[in-house]
Structure 1
Amino acid sequence: MTDTPSTCALSQDTALPAPPPARRVERVQVRDGVVSAGERAVPEEVPVALTFNGTTHAVMMASPTDISDFALGFALTEGIVASAAEILSREVIVVDEGIEARMWIAEEKMKHLSARRRALAGPTGCGLCGVESLVEAVKPAALVTADTRFSPATLLDAMATLGPLQSLNHETRAVHAAAYFEPGRGILALAEDVGRHNALDKLVGKAAEAGFDTARGLLLLTSRVSIEMVQKAAVLGVGVIAAVSAPTSLAIRTAEAAGITLCAIVRQDGFEVFTHPGRIALPSPERQNHVA
């Protein structure tokens, strides 16, 4: 393990306190023609710089919670590292402009990351330009081999337990959540963020830190399912995604290729299965007809 340069860290007494995840703001409400003054809680949103070996790789707008988990999850889902053990050190520093999540990785990993960034950087400074960037955007997800099966009731119960645990969303009604659920154990990890991708990255980081055997459980999402969400779910290693909203066409194709069971529009009265239905213990057609 290489030593982390001393210039990487700020001492605790020079660091600023983290911003609160929500703030109360004044607003004027108009309801049924009645105007009233008051306050509303709104989520905080701050720039988070994700740096590796002193170099900024990305700046994301995110909720100022679980930033260390966010950094780890981002590093994993972006393929910068393959496991938490490959991050030599990690620290979160609050500065006037936002938050820095500073990570140090082995030099060979950093060389690979630097080469990848050079291949993706476009001449206009957009960061993702050209054929290489298009390929990177739609890269195949990791193949998932989890074989745990779930009953329809388990999916519905899991989603029903998610809402009461979304404390930041209860306060603001403006953030997404991602959660990891196991039958018989319930929701073992949950993350909230103003960004759905960020919430899932935070969850990936939490699961990696806890060492969960994610092949046993399923992923719960409060958002629509796009290709990036499927790619991140594949890194998490779950066999089933259950989301309250609908998937995109590309997300369906990606889940199909990755071997992931994609369940969406999960509501109190049921859900829809788009890929690999074998992990869901659906009633046989004969039983459905008998019940009808």
Structure 2
Amino acid sequence: MTEQPSRALGAILAGGQSSRFGSDKSAAEWQGASLLSHSVRALFDECDEVVVCGGSHEDIPQSAVRLQDIPERGLGPLGGLCAALAHARDRGFDAVLSVPVDAHPVPDGLLERLAGSGPAALHRHWLFGFWPSDLAGALEEHLKAGSRSVLSWIEACGARMVEYTGREIVNVNTPSALEALERMSALGAAADVYGAYELCFEDGRVGEAARIVPVEVPVAIEYNGIGYAVMMATPTDLEDFVTGFSLSEGLASRNQIGEVSLFETGGGWIARANLPASSVPRVAERARSRVSESGCGICGIDSIAAALSPLQPVAAQPRADHAAVHRALSAMRSHQELGRATGAAHAAAFCSFDGEIMLLREDVGRHNALDKLIGALDRQGIDHEQGFVLLSARCSQELVEKTVRCGIPMLVTISAPSTLAIQRAREGRLTLITLARSDTALVMNDPHGLFPPSRRSAKG
């Protein structure tokens, strides 16, 4: 276990007015309380004292102290962090735990995640940081030298970058992002909000967006102590899901299924139920012989760890631009012979980096269509790394994994992703574009900076 500092000061980097948000974000309300109140509450759960750095919101709850930036105002979040470090140094605190006021929800156990030898920050969310108080003088000198970038400070002080795999953190930079956060909260465990960039095909501009995404996790089902299957599901109403799955599989009749017990573990859920003794031989036989009947590649895996096995990141880098993606989208329909005739078939296309459709395969199953395309690429000797895949389907975790494992560097889908699809794309360094329509698309993962925002965030 990571050694914890004996005294930690919590620091909320509150900033000031935001041109994109239109007002002080500290005062904006989520779940009936200000963003500042949520941040203060989260830090008081972990720290001995809490300070608010910058901002103009008058209501500071729970006796938090407001600090002015050091060495002067207007230096961005690092000015607030510098004030917190000086306060911590002068009052005998070992370290500062910092959080931005406009990023929520604050991860649980943040201090334990970040504490350790030297400074640390969350990967992709640099203002969630752990900073030993003896860095106060170094940060002040860094700012006096004219450096205001958070990344420049992270590099200068040698901070560790800590991966975070918990619930997605939403940067509340616009009212629409706050609205998405509120709607997500109402949906509970069924949905999450991911930051994305909206790509406009007409002029190529890229702007910030927040997208509500359905949660997808592996659910391992066990009957009478026998592992039967791992299914990908949204983790709500799981008792109903297991009961209905048991009935639809013909494993039991109504009123024969015992109480469903649920356990959250290892990135998914384990669901356990007891069936009548007469069902056990059939369960045991099916558990031994079950194959991927749905074509998703998950059914029959009796281990959540196996369902989330590590992905080898894609080595190739895509070279397509917004015009190439739009060109492929516009041409795809003319290649879908089965789809046009039936209205009931998915298509998977392999496109060159300039948007030409080189190969397309169709099937009633989206996973099957992609498998057919991958097989055709191999049989025809087409280099998987020299293009991208375009799918007429929802972006699920399985489709992402298939693309990554074949070394294809970019995936474009016409419908929305799941949370697990985004997470696996990040793990596999796959450029992921979803909700691709005639006018816009959402860039959900862009590890190579292929689609840089037209308007950079003020942070960092």
TM-score range, shorter chain: 0.5 to 0.7
Between structure 1 and structure 2, the one with the greater Rg is: 2
2 CA distance for matches of 1:124 and 1:160? 48
CA contact (8 A) 1:240 1:279 kept: no
* CA offsets 1:180-218 (integer angstroms, 9 cap, x no match): 000347111111000000000000100111222221211
Superposition RMSD on alpha carbons, in Å?
2.5
2 CA distance for matches of 1:279 and 1:239? 13
1 CA distance for matches of 2:301 and 2:318? 38
Partner of 1:273: 443
- Superposition deviation, residue 133 in structure 1: 3.2
CA contact (8 A) 2:327 2:356 kept: no
Determine helix, strand or coil for the equivalent of 1:285: coil
Partner of 2:319: 149
Determine which of 354, 358, 366 is the counterpart of 1:196: 366
Determine helix, strand or coil for the equivalent of 1:157: helix
Partner of 2:59: none
2 CA distance for matches of 1:189 and 1:251? 24
Distance 1:130 1:241, change over 3 A: closer
* CA offsets 1:144-203 (integer angstroms, 9 cap, x no match): 011122211111111111111000000000010101000347111111000000000000
* CA offsets 1:221-255 (integer angstroms, 9 cap, x no match): 00011111011111232111100000100010000
CA contact (8 A) 1:146 1:237 kept: yes
Distance 1:167 1:259, change over 3 A: same
Partner of 1:139: 309
2 CA distance for matches of 1:164 and 1:195? 19
Distance 1:173 1:138, change over 3 A: same
Determine which of 286, 294, 307 is the counterpart of 1:125: 286
Determine helix, strand or coil for the equivalent of 2:422: helix
Determine which of 231, 234, 237 is the counterpart of 2:404: 234
1 CA distance for matches of 2:301 and 2:451? 42
Identical positions, percent: 36
Determine which of 349, 353, 375 is the counterpart of 1:205: 375
Determine helix, strand or coil for the equivalent of 2:435: strand
Determine which of 219, 228, 231 is the counterpart of 2:389: 219
Distance 1:213 1:241, change over 3 A: same
| Counterpart AA for 2:284 | P
* CA offsets 1:254-273 (integer angstroms, 9 cap, x no match): 00000001100001111001
1 CA distance for matches of 2:379 and 2:330? 26
* CA offsets 1:82-113 (integer angstroms, 9 cap, x no match): xxxxxxxxxxxxxxxxxxxxxxxxxxxxxxxx
1 CA distance for matches of 2:301 and 2:332? 40
1:28-39 alignment, distance < 5 Å = none
1:1-292 alignment, distance < 5 Å = 123-126=284-287, 127=290, 132-184=302-354, 186-276=356-446, 278-282=448-452, 284-285=454-455
Structure 1 stretches of at least 4 aligned residues deviating more than 4 Å after TM superposition: 128-132
2 CA distance for matches of 1:183 and 1:169? 24
2 CA distance for matches of 1:159 and 1:189? 14
Determine helix, strand or coil for the equivalent of 2:360: strand
* TM-score with structure 1 setting the length: 0.52
- Superposition deviation, residue 132 in structure 1: 4.4
Higher RCO (Cα < 8 Å, 6 or more apart) = 1
| Counterpart AA for 1:276 | D
- Superposition deviation, residue 283 in structure 1: 5.5
The number of residues matched between the two structures is 167
| Counterpart AA for 1:187 | I
Determine helix, strand or coil for the equivalent of 1:215: coil
CA contact (8 A) 1:230 1:254 kept: yes
Partner of 2:35: none
Distance 1:279 1:172, change over 3 A: farther
List runs of 5+ in structure 1 lacking aligned partners.
1-121, 287-292
CA contact (8 A) 1:148 1:279 kept: no
| Counterpart AA for 2:434 | A
* TM-score with structure 2 setting the length: 0.34
2 CA distance for matches of 1:230 and 1:220? 12
2 CA distance for matches of 1:135 and 1:214? 28
